[in-house]
Structure 1
Amino acid sequence: MSRRKLQHNLWEELGYPKTIHVRVTPKASRNEICLDTLETGDKRLRVYVTTVPEDGKANKAVLALIAKTLSLSKSSLKIIQGETTRDKVIAINALPPQKQNLTAS
């Protein structure tokens, strides 16, 4: 598995998916998103958040950080699997901003 910090457009890097696989590290020293490429070639986000995993606080922080990174509203993201685990699947219910501009014209 290889890991690297995101350096350019996450949407392009992930191939404009409808769902993303995420591995969360709560109580981290920083809020950050990295991209893991697994041995199978699949891509997964590694999300570090400083919040604690109690009462859904870490989940909210994860969704907020991903939404900010993708330039989406928080309401366009939803955890569909792994609500109480570190490995999550998140549904994206929106188009990336550059594709929204194309459909609006």
Structure 2
Amino acid sequence: MIGWRRDGNDLILAVRLTPGATREDVGGRWTDEHGAHWLLARVRAVPEKGKANAALVALLARRLDWPRGAILLESGDTNRLKRLRIQGGAQALDRLAAIITKWVETT
């Protein structure tokens, strides 16, 4: 699937984050120069002292109805391209995959 993959009991979500946006949203996809697909996300928080990363985790937790503490930033701390680990996400794979797929297909 585009934008995410399963890793044992977890899901790894590839996100391209736009901090400092006028509104928070998740949807659409971006393709990098290597052909990898990334889910697009926007947060109001600025990229300062982890504020945008924390806002991204909070946004995903709300939209996925998943515990905030079970969504970890795995890579991309100071980069727009991030990989997030959704711990235990494989247990709700069908539900989460449907939500994420709908986001990716949103233009």
TM-score by length of 1: 0.69
- 1:85 — aligned with what? 79
Letter in 2 for 1:20: L
**How many percent of aligned residue pairs carry the same amino acid?**
29
**Does residue 45 of structure 1 match 2:20?**
no
Residue 18 (structure 2) aligns with:
25
**CA separation in 2, counterparts of 1:51 and 1:37?**
21
- Contact 1:67–1:77 (CA<8 Å) still a contact in 2? yes
Give the paired residue count: 87
Higher relative contact order (CA 8 A, sep 6+): 2
Q: Which runs of 5+ in 1 are unaligned?
A: 1-12, 100-105
Asked whether the equivalents of residues 71 and 97 of structure 1 are also in contact (C-alpha less than 8 Å), the reply is no
Kept in 1, the 8 Å contact 2:21–2:43? The answer is yes
SS class of match (1:29): coil
Q: Which has the larger radius of gyration?
A: 1
Aligned to 1:3: none
CA distance in 2: counterparts of 1:43 and 1:28, whole angstroms: 21
Deviation at 1:38, TM superposition (A): 3.9
SS in structure 2 of the partner of residue 22 of structure 1: strand
User: For the residues of structure 2 that align with 1:76 and 1:26, how far apart are their CA atoms?
Assistant: 22
